[in-house]
Amino acid sequence: MTISAYWELDPAAEPQRFEPLAGRQLPGIVKSQRGPALNRFDYYAQVGSAAAQAGFSGLFIRHREEADESRVIAAAVAREVPGIVLVPEFPASVGSAVYAAKQAVSFQRSTRNRLGWAIAAAEGAADRRRSGDYIGADDLGERLEEFLTVARGVHAAQPFTFEGRHFAVKDGGFADPLNRADFPQVFLQGEDEEDLEYSARQADVHLFRASALADVSRQVETLDGLGKRTGRPVAYGLLQPVVARPFADEAQRHAERIGAPAEALVGSYDEVAARLADLAGVGISHFVFRSLPSLEEAYLVGQHVLPRLRARLSTLRVAA
């Protein structure tokens, strides 16, 4: 099985890098020429380059209300970094589904189809009101489904007409040459039964939260069952924090320093690669890896873990 490995960029996690006035200031004895010519977008581009050069297939850009908008970041990075896919995460409350689809098409045309769409999990009611999103909790799933139906619809057909509760289009649809671009691969997430049902109908890739192998395996089976009913293929992915070092104790120490979450895979390069191969064995084909600092860790994972994981998977394939 071939796997797709993405590196995660969390724009809220390290906003000080490249920002002249944030982070630690240099003492006067150090001659400095840092100034407003550089800012955190240089960091995003550098992390994107790191992901590309270290062998990842894409950069997954988190939706963070408190930080830069993911699709703006994705475009800025894409123009500068060749090869990788950019997967910005954003909520289905961004606005018009037609407008979002049209932006996706423009991105695709300009980057040789290197866009993915990750729809963020809905926030709580107070956060939604802060974002100007006043629909009821019961309507969120329906809105998500209409958003994707309309976005895909205007891309696939002309004329496209749709009359829903959240979106309506009359005689829409993209004309040539806009309709020649690929629709982005859609990543959905969530652990609830309802989330899995939406994914069975709408996702290209469903992303699970990292957890124990047995849990992941069970969830994959559940979604598999739902997928058989809808008859459309869905790939499975994992949002996987990871800390890998030559020796397990070194990994442990770094994990403590950055406060890696409980579900992180922490260990030597070989141990981590072995655990990932197990996950691939139960059906996970897309891994969204993350660690901090995201630049340095992208190199560690890309240079030392991904080759080991790929080697294991090809050995397994040969053995089978």
Tell the smallest beta-carbon distance from residue 259 to other proteins (Å): 21
Q: Of the two residues 145 and 224, which places its CB atom closer to other proteins in the complex?
A: 145
Q: Of the two residues 67 and 235, which places its CB atom closer to other proteins in the complex?
A: 67
Tell the smallest beta-carbon distance from residue 12 to other proteins (Å): 8
Tell the smallest beta-carbon distance from residue 183 to other proteins (Å): 15
Q: Of the two residues 98 and 276, which places its CB atom closer to other proteins in the complex?
A: 98
Tell the burial category of 224 from Cβ atoms under 10 Å away from its Cβ (0-12, 13-18, 19+).
middle
**Dist CA 21 CA 39 (whole Å):** 10
Chain centroid to CA 195: how far? 17
- In the complex, which residues of this chain contact other proteins (CB under 8 A)? 12, 15, 36, 39-41, 45, 65-69, 71-76, 78-80, 91, 93-99, 102-103, 105-107, 109-112, 126, 129-134, 150, 167-175, 177-178, 180
Give every CB contact of residue 59 below 8 A, 6+ residues apart in sequence: 6, 7, 8, 9, 47, 48, 51, 74, 77, 81, 84, 85, 86, 87
Tell the smallest beta-carbon distance from residue 101 to other proteins (Å): 10
Tell the smallest beta-carbon distance from residue 246 to other proteins (Å): 35
Contacts 24+ apart (CB under 8 A), 261-268: 263/209, 263/210, 263/211, 264/210, 264/240, 264/291, 265/210, 265/240, 265/241, 266/242, 267/243, 268/244
Q: Of the two residues 199 and 294, which places its CB atom closer to other proteins in the complex?
A: 294
Q: Which of 47, 108, 116, 112 is nearest to 77 (CA)?
A: 47
- The CA dihedral of 204, 3, 1, 214, to the nearest 10 degrees, is -80
Q: Of the two residues 132 and 259, which places its CB atom closer to other proteins in the complex?
A: 132
At position 88, the amino acid (one-letter code) is: P
For helices 213-230 and 193-202, give the axis angle rounded to 10 degrees. Answer: 50
Tell the smallest beta-carbon distance from residue 190 to other proteins (Å): 21
**C-alpha atoms less than 13 angstroms from C-alpha of 258 in its C-beta half-sphere:** 22
DSSP character for 86?
E
Q: Of the two residues 96 and 222, which places its CB atom closer to other proteins in the complex?
A: 96
Q: Of the two residues 167 and 285, which places its CB atom closer to other proteins in the complex?
A: 167
Tell the smallest beta-carbon distance from residue 128 to other proteins (Å): 9
Tell the smallest beta-carbon distance from residue 136 to other proteins (Å): 13
Q: Phi, psi (5° rounding) for residue 60? A: -100, 120
Tell the smallest beta-carbon distance from residue 139 to other proteins (Å): 15
Q: Of the two residues 88 and 227, which places its CB atom closer to other proteins in the complex?
A: 88
To which residue do tokens 């019961």 refer? 138
Q: Of the two residues 112 and 257, which places its CB atom closer to other proteins in the complex?
A: 112
Give every CB contact of residue 257 below 8 A, 6+ residues apart in sequence: none
At position 166, the amino acid (one-letter code) is: H
